Amino acid sequence: MRRLSILGSTGSIGTQAVEVITSLPGEFQVVALTARRSAHLLAEQALRLRVKTVAITDESAAEELQERLSGSDIEVLTGPEGVLAVADRDDVDLCLNALVGGTGMAPTIAALEAGVNVALSNKESLVMAGELIAELVRRKKAHLYPVDSEHSAIWQCLVGEPTDQVRRLVLTGSGGPFRTWPRKKLTEVTRTRALQHPNWDMGPKITIDSATMMNKGLEVIEAHWLFDLAPEQVDIVIHPQSVIHSMVEFTDGSVKAQMGVPDMKVPIQYALTYPDRKPSSWPRLDLVQIATLTFEPPDREKFPCISLAYEALRRGGSAPAVLNMANDLAVQAFLEDRITYLKIPTTLEKALGEHPFVEHPSLEAIEELLGWTRRFVATALDL
């Protein structure tokens, strides 16, 4: 029986992971869960899964959580320190990091420092601290199991293949809700419209990243660190049906593709049960019903976030971290109706160009850059 902790269990990936776990009785023992502020759902999950420890980041929700768990022997931790304490546990076999945004970086590092394998949904960890995390993985002999559908697809395509025979990776993307819109119409984008993803059911932050296509840019950076390939070996192709989740082209011209319905429970289950594939009841792919698969290049003029991510990856050092931090802040401002959609990429470009560059940032330097980025974005957006 595999012992698990889940960081961010009440979010989109976390709740689907709980579905996967409960569908495979006897396979897992969940030791600990964390959430940001959803005390009701966290308590429900903790009691159903019989966990030992829960942590809630928002300390104002801690009292409600304590009340809902009264009479149980479940330990309740609070604040970011509580989440780090869960991540730092070495009595688990696998830590699923389903946190969203830059707050997921420190828990990823904590889990790896404890020598625990990490199933990583939090792409921002590798975007912000890829060099540090890659070194930790080598030093601790731990493993990162990608949960993003695109990186899971590449991981599955590479099983049994020599990595030195890979020519390129092809990340597929739906194109988001504005794929067919002319650029001039993007001035009309509202928060409600941007949150209407055509294929995937995701949380609000990731859905906005899909609308700007920053998610693809961040995935390019993540793929670089996961699979140790140069920026020019990672491409993006728009595939509106979201059936092919990504592809690998080899040096002999052969291409492998991993296919399936757009359902995150499949890559989640693969990461949790690897190297085994367990039976599941998730929806199955029917190619006859789909009938047609189409592909097109990404429009980088309409979606400048893609080019900004490639630029940050090629510059290296602190550039990806600042890009990610600025994106977190700009997306949050957009979700709160404080800025327009088109302000997101222009803010990122300014932050990338004006930040105090650090060639090999330490964890402390990244934290300092977070403060700089908060101040810069607040000034740039007049918040």
**287-to-136, 176, 218, 279 alpha-carbon distances in Å:** 41, 22, 29, 20
**Which residue, among 130, 82, 48, 68, has the nearest Cα to 324 in the 3D structure?**
130
Q: How confident is the model at residue 346 (pLDDT cuts 50, 70, 90)?
A: very high
- Give dist(CA 346, CA 376) in Å, integer: 13
Sequence spans of domains, the chain: 2-146, 151-262+282-315
Position 274 scores a pLDDT of 97
Q: Sign of the CA dihedral 76, 79, 83, 86?
A: negative
The mean per-residue pLDDT over the stretch 77-86 comes to: 96
The mean per-residue pLDDT over the stretch 62-79 comes to: 94
Would the pLDDT of 73 be above 80?
yes
The mean per-residue pLDDT over the stretch 312-338 comes to: 95
* Span 227-250, pLDDT tens digits: 999 999 999 999 999 999 999 999
State the average pLDDT for the chain. Answer: 95
Half-sphere exposure of 275 (CA within 13 A, CB side): 4
Percent of the chain beyond pLDDT 70? 98
Would the pLDDT of 197 be above 80?
no
Helix, coil or strand: residue 162: coil
Helix, coil or strand: residue 379: helix
Would the pLDDT of 203 be above 80?
no
- Give dist(CA 15, CA 3) in Å, integer: 17
Tokens of 2: 């595999």
Tokens of 111: 């889990």
Position 59 scores a pLDDT of 86
Helices 214-227 and 123-140: angle between axes, nearest 10 degrees: 10
Would the pLDDT of 27 be above 90?
yes
Position 310 scores a pLDDT of 98
Q: Is residue 4 within 8 Å of 28, Cβ to Cβ?
A: yes
- Give dist(CA 341, CA 141) in Å, integer: 42
Query: Right CATH number for 2-146 from 3.90.280.10, 3.20.10.10, 3.40.50.720, 3.40.390.10?
Result: 3.40.50.720
Residues 6+ apart with CB under 8 A from 43: 54, 65, 68, 69
Residues 6+ apart with CB under 8 A from 331: 205, 208, 209, 212, 344
* Span 114-138, pLDDT tens digits: 999 999 999 999 999 999 999 999 9
Q: How confident is the model at residue 196 (pLDDT cuts 50, 70, 90)?
A: confident
Would the pLDDT of 201 be above 70?
no
Which long-range contacts does 188-195 make (Cβ < 8 Å, 24+ apart)? Answer: 189/340, 189/341, 189/342, 190/341, 191/334, 191/335, 191/337, 194/334, 194/341
Q: Is residue 53 within 8 Å of 31, Cβ to Cβ?
A: yes
* Span 269-302, pLDDT tens digits: 999 999 999 999 999 999 999 999 999 999 999 9
Position 62 scores a pLDDT of 92
Position 98 scores a pLDDT of 97
